[in-house]
Amino acid sequence: LVSKLPNVGTTIFTRMSQLALETGAINLSQGFPDFDGPQALREAVARHLMEGRNQYSPMTGLPSLRQQVAAKIARSYGAQRDADSEITITPGATEAIFCAVQALIHAGDEAIVLDPCYDSYEPSVELAGGRCVHVPLALPDFTVDWQRLADAITPRTRLIFLNSPHNPSGALLTRADLDKLAELIRGRDIHVISDEVYEHLIFDGQRHASVLAHEELYQRAFVVSSFGKTYHVTGWKTGYVVAPPLLSAELRKIHQYVNFCGVTPLQFGLADFMAAHPEHVEELPAFYQAKRDLFCDLLTGSRFTLTRAPGTYFQLADYSAIRPDLDDVAMAEWLTREHGVAAIPVSVFYQSAPKDMRLVRFCFAKREETLRQAAEKLCAV
């Protein structure tokens, strides 16, 4: 067999979680909560499962869940998106991204990714016969260098990926960034995949600049989100994609052959919970900001240097003052094996990371006691 992805191995998330398991380290590597989703949500799913809602759901997703998503979008961003023609429920944001890429990319096309970027983008593009062009975000704050992005556009460019709030840095795009992008692609055959899975994890009173609320950009965009992040149930692998009707129709042609539909009782339960608890998403910023602040406050006693993440449930930490001799992959392994805390190296999100970068990523979606135990160990490093 000739591999279609010769350069791909097992993801860093699987490897670090496995190492944490083997060594008994506290796992702040792969991004997932160590607490459960809301009880009412789990009960709703259990009820639907026991009441026999266990057969295929509609290919585009359960209508009541699509309506709840449309209502959430209206409340959060003041945008009206049609539940029938613009919203599709998918088995995870990852599948949504994959299908959107397959809909957009033909052999020989180019997609621009902003490094560091999430690991599923590039393989999705390559499987469609395309190629990723990597443009680094500007350090230290992981902002978009608009000139570099403009310079990377060629006649073959068909797609630009956005991710805000940004994994791994937590950085946020602003409305001005969206305006710049809209201007850049105006009149060109270029579309956007906006990965907004951390849309409700945003701190310090800031507002998420969603592509859903940017009328011009939205007309060229697939906007992706994940119930896994918003409702603390990453293992449910349930997400959605919002796109104008013509784009949604193309995506659905692919989605119906990749998966056909999402998991039925999960969709019923999510629809019930969202209808009964619209306040859940409004409470998320304070909920996660308290965790970020606890973790960062505890680490002020350490030799790591931190700039508080503006969003997501990830916190970057610079370890230059501790082991400048180790690259970040070696550092993450050393921290796990020798100090009992697993982290993710940031260079794996890059095609080519700056040589002097000394950053690891910690996930703070953890119970207070987990964060305290981890911080104690990290302060001893």
Residue 102 binds ligand GLN (CB under 6 A): no
- Regarding 30 and contact with ligand GLN (CB under 6 A), the answer is yes
Q: Identify the residue among 33, 37, 61, 92 touching ligand PMP (CB under 6 A).
A: 92
Residues numbered 2-31 forming contacts with ligand PMP, rule: CB under 6 A = 31
Q: Which is nearer to ligand PMP, 232 or 322 (CB)?
A: 232
Q: Cβ 185 to ligand PMP, closest distance in Å?
A: 21
Could you give the CA distance from residue 112 to residue 134 in angstroms, rounded to a whole number?
6
| 232 is an interface residue for ligand PMP by CB under 6 A | no
Q: Which residue among 167, 267, 302, 370 contacts ligand GLN (CB under 6 A)?
A: 167
Rounded to whole angstroms, how far apart are CA atoms 109 and 346?
A: 27
31 or 136: CB nearest ligand GLN: 31
Give the integer Cα–Cα distance in Å for 86 and 205.
29
234 sits near ligand PMP (criterion: CB under 6 A): yes
Task: Kindly state the smallest distance separating residue 87's Cβ from ligand GLN, in Å.
Answer: 22
Measured torsion, CA atoms of residues 219, 89, 174, 220, in degrees rounded to the nearest 10 = -20
CA angle 95, 97, 102 (to 5 degrees): 95
| 165 touching ligand GLN, by CB under 6 A | no
β-pair type (359-363, 314-318): antiparallel
209/173 Cα distance (integer angstroms): 7
Look up residue 244 and give its two tokens. 């104008």
Q: Is 239 in the site for ligand PMP (CB under 6 A)?
A: yes
Report if residue 167 touches ligand PMP, rule: CB under 6 A: yes
Nearest to 33 by CA among 201, 165, 170: 201
Residue 163 touches which member of ligand PMP, ligand GLN, none, C-beta under 5-8 Å by kind: ligand PMP
Q: Which one of 122, 195, 328, 333 is in contact with ligand PMP (CB under 6 A)?
A: 195
Which residues, 6+ apart, have CB-to-CB distance to 178 below 8 Å?
Answer: 209, 211, 214, 217
Binding mask 123-162 for ligand GLN (x = CB under 6 A): ----------------------------------------
With binding defined as CB under 6 A, does residue 163 bind ligand PMP?
yes
Q: Is the dihedral of CA 205, 210, 212, 216 positive or negative?
A: positive
Does 13 interact with ligand GLN (rule: CB under 6 A)?
yes
Which CB, 96 or 103, lies closer to ligand PMP? Answer: 96
Closest residue to ligand PMP in the complex (CB): 92
Counting contacts by CB under 6 A, is residue 163 touching ligand GLN?
no
Binding site for ligand GLN (CB under 6 A): 11, 13, 30-31, 167
Question: What is the binding site for ligand PMP (CB under 6 A)?
Answer: 31, 92-94, 118, 163, 167, 195, 197, 226, 228, 234, 237, 239
